[in-house]
Chain A
């Protein structure tokens, strides 16, 4: 009998110690704090994206902490700059895992940069949300801890093509695409070809250009010679502007469609008056779409927590980052006091129609599905007002 009590006591102590060790072992989580990480391109040309993303995460961090944290735990985000170099992204993640002891990752830089980090994310089971650059390699095949927010460029452009044909009635136009010779360009071309195939469009020209190319005079002259009336741009940022300017210089009356990278005010500014009226397919609204509750809320918080200079650095990557942070917050909150990586992954997987106040379409993940939402909207550029207007409903693309 006495032996039984001793055994029970020993077992209880063992379980308590094991439980305590288990709780302590959960990386980045203490009773009053949870540490998250974000790898962003904060230097070099892509810093336009990274800085805007980082500022949004800072806004979310300040807001969530002002609301008392998540289940009483304050959020601390560690930011690392990768300069948009995959090797540095991996190095940054290693540093955050080892030195900063992060719990999860809510900033994953570019497509190739995330690809370099994926083996480590998977091996360590770090709950990760990618809301910066979406590529099908990120979710096909799916990795258990990696969740991808937003449609691929292929899906965005396919949605844009649907808008051009069904809403603007451009079925009989002469279509062309200029795309850069990399993964991004291929993905944009994928959406273009889907649109061409779906509507039986007249695809008169496909122009591949070298990444970083800054002179599109030859390409636009070829487009003019071919009588192109609709041009899909597979450039990243400056390429859109240069193509728009060349088209204006050649007095070409074309309808221009770009992916979400065209939904940036610097693209408008670089193109000058030629930047008025072009279309950009995206999955988040414009920063000026204050009729969308999520945007209004974010801008209110930005006014509270950011300086004017900082607010000027915001762009669509800020909204994407903020929306991603809201998804992650929801999953962490659902776990309650017992915050573990496995629990957050389980809660993310269980999301069913999660709403972000119109920042994104409803978010639904599931077993084997790590990619949502896939709905996109189309925006039109207003160069004079330096903003964009939503011109379409959300379109769900397979």
Chain B
């Protein structure tokens, strides 16, 4: 009788797939992901594309806030830097997508380094406010630097194409996003199981103790900012190609707040939790949209729109209040019950 999953070596402990069951589920997920566009309608595929792009940015935020413990409300700003970099390069300089995506990541990473410097001296709410200010500054810079960013008019981007293949449908673009998300997940998981990830965790738990253990805290904090903002940069670049238009309205502070709520709902510090948090929060909004769209065209439906926003906010607040470990916490609890049954532990 199975009484749990045990790792007997350090190698097993840090391996990405730890047992055959995980391997089966991983393969099932891969097959489902590849088959999804054949099953889903264009509209749902487009929604999924939006979700996957959001997930890339949120995985980055999870590395910074969930794993390293540095609260950031600057994700919308990094998203804007990545998005505008890709939009300017593709629309004004005809640069190909395969160059624009890394360029978005690099530009956002450079800004991440800049924003990360205050993090060496700031913590908690003070850091949160500094990163919040970054988003406001970036928005202002975009509006002011009209000769480069086209100001408030925004930029329309060409159809995404990679190596001569035009990805002009949601279904074809899906595979590119899926590939980037896979790299993002693998990158995050690998960072977390390496020396760097352990340093991030040490900083999150107690940065003074981490320094006492010989962890170069300043370097790793900056590293966390750069990696996190690069993720957001790639997400911003993909978002621009997805919508084929960018302007500052797409990067409101609400996006940063939503991103933080997604990692909390999913489960702080967990890569899978970040993805599940995105699916839950975005999915909840869409589910409520779908539920309320049947109410028809009366004032009742106008009131219902307000009710929808209220329900959406309430669900997230209740979640944060009563399930602070997030969806991954619930998953772990039920998994342990299943594995250990009929014993409690």
Q: How far is the CA of A58 from the CA of B300 in the complex (A)?
A: 13
Q: Which residues of B sit under 8 angstroms from A77, Cβ to Cβ?
A: 297
B249 at the interface (CB under 8 A from A): yes
Q: How far is the CA of A39 from the CA of B63 in the complex (A)?
A: 37
Q: Are B305 and A81 within 8 A (Cβ)?
A: yes
B309 at the interface (CB under 8 A from A): yes
A87 at the interface (CB under 8 A from B): yes
B198 at the interface (CB under 8 A from A): no
Interface residues of A, count at CB 8 A: 42
Contact among A54, A61, A91, A210 for B140, CB-based, below 8 A: A210
Q: Are A310 and B299 within 8 A (Cβ)?
A: yes
Binds A, one of B40-48, B202-210, B266-274, B330-338: B40-48
B190 at the interface (CB under 8 A from A): no
Cβ-closest chain A residue relative to B240: A87
Q: How far is the CA of A97 from the CA of B245 in the complex (A)?
A: 19
Q: Are B43 and A118 within 8 A (Cβ)?
A: no
Our count of residue pairs bridging A and B at CB distance below 8 angstroms stands at 95
Measured CB to CB, the closest approach of chain A to B150, in angstroms, equals 10
* Interface members, chain A 47-100 (any B CB < 8 Å): 47, 51, 54-55, 58, 61, 77, 79, 81, 84-87, 90-91, 94-95, 97-99
Q: Which residues of A sit under 8 angstroms from B245, Cβ to Cβ?
A: 86, 90, 112, 115-116, 118-119
Contact among A42, A113, A210 for B302, CB-based, below 8 A: A42
Contact among A116, A137, A182 for B243, CB-based, below 8 A: A116
Q: Which residues of A sit under 8 angstroms from B43, Cβ to Cβ?
A: 94-95, 97-99
Q: Which residues of B sit under 8 angstroms from A186, Cβ to Cβ?
A: 151-152
Cβ-closest chain A residue relative to B153: A183
Q: How far is the CA of A51 from the CA of B249 in the complex (A)?
A: 20
Given A91-B47, A98-B43, A137-B153, A181–B297 Cβ distance below 8 Å? no
A43 at the interface (CB under 8 A from B): yes
Chain A interface mostly: helix
Contact among B140, B249, B305, B309 for A86, CB-based, below 8 A: B249
* Interface members, chain B 215-272 (any A CB < 8 Å): 239, 242-245, 247-250, 252
Interface residues of B, count at CB 8 A: 34
A291 at the interface (CB under 8 A from B): no
Given A79-B297, A87-B250, A309-B299, A182–B46 Cβ distance below 8 Å? no
Measured CB to CB, the closest approach of chain B to A142, in angstroms, equals 15
A4 at the interface (CB under 8 A from B): no
Q: Are B46 and A94 within 8 A (Cβ)?
A: yes
Q: Which residues of B sit under 8 angstroms from A43, Cβ to Cβ?
A: 305-306, 308-309
Q: Are B247 and A115 within 8 A (Cβ)?
A: yes
B324 at the interface (CB under 8 A from A): no
Chain B interface mostly: helix
Contact among A42, A94, A181 for B152, CB-based, below 8 A: A181
Measured CB to CB, the closest approach of chain B to A312, in angstroms, equals 10
Q: Which residues of A sit under 8 angstroms from B239, Cβ to Cβ?
A: 87
* Interface members, chain B 100-153 (any A CB < 8 Å): 140, 143-144, 151-153
Q: Are A98 and B41 within 8 A (Cβ)?
A: yes
Given A98-B43, A112-B247, A119-B244, A183–B151 Cβ distance below 8 Å? yes
Q: How far is the CA of A113 from the CA of B297 in the complex (A)?
A: 22
Q: Mark B270-288, 1 if CB is under 8 A from A, else 0.
A: 0000000000000000000
Q: Are B299 and A87 within 8 A (Cβ)?
A: no
Given A43-B306, A87-B243, A307-B299, A181–B140 Cβ distance below 8 Å? yes
Given A84-B249, A94-B46, A119-B245, A112–B154 Cβ distance below 8 Å? yes
Q: Which residues of A sit under 8 angstroms from B144, Cβ to Cβ?
A: 181
Q: Which residues of B sit under 8 angstroms from A307, Cβ to Cβ?
A: 299
Q: Which residues of A sit under 8 angstroms from B247, Cβ to Cβ?
A: 86, 112, 115, 183
Given A86-B247, A91-B47, A307-B299, A183–B152 Cβ distance below 8 Å? yes
Q: Which residues of B sit under 8 angstroms from A79, Cβ to Cβ?
A: 297, 301
Q: How far is the CA of A87 from the CA of B156 in the complex (A)?
A: 13
Cβ-closest chain B residue relative to A77: B297
* Interface members, chain A 24-54 (any B CB < 8 Å): 42-43, 47, 51, 54
Q: Are A181 and B46 within 8 A (Cβ)?
A: no
Given A91-B50, A94-B42, A182-B143, A115–B302 Cβ distance below 8 Å? no
27 contacts between A and B (CB under 8 A): A42-B302, A42-B305, A51-B302, A61-B297, A79-B297, A81-B289, A86-B245, A87-B242, A87-B243, A90-B243, A91-B46, A91-B50, A94-B46, A94-B170, A112-B152, A112-B245, A115-B245, A116-B244, A118-B156, A137-B153, A181-B140, A181-B143, A182-B143, A183-B154, A307-B299, A309-B299, A313-B302
- Nearest 4 CB-CB pairings of A with B: A183-B152, A182-B152, A98-B43, A116-B245
For the A-B complex with A91-B50, A182-B152 known, give 12 more contacts whose Cβ atoms are closer than 8 Å: A79-B301, A85-B249, A85-B250, A86-B250, A91-B46, A98-B42, A99-B41, A112-B247, A113-B249, A115-B153, A181-B143, A182-B248
Measured CB to CB, the residues of B under 8 A from A are 41-43, 46-47, 50, 140, 143-144, 151-154, 156, 170, 239, 242-245, 247-250, 252, 289, 297, 299, 301-302, 305-306, 308-309
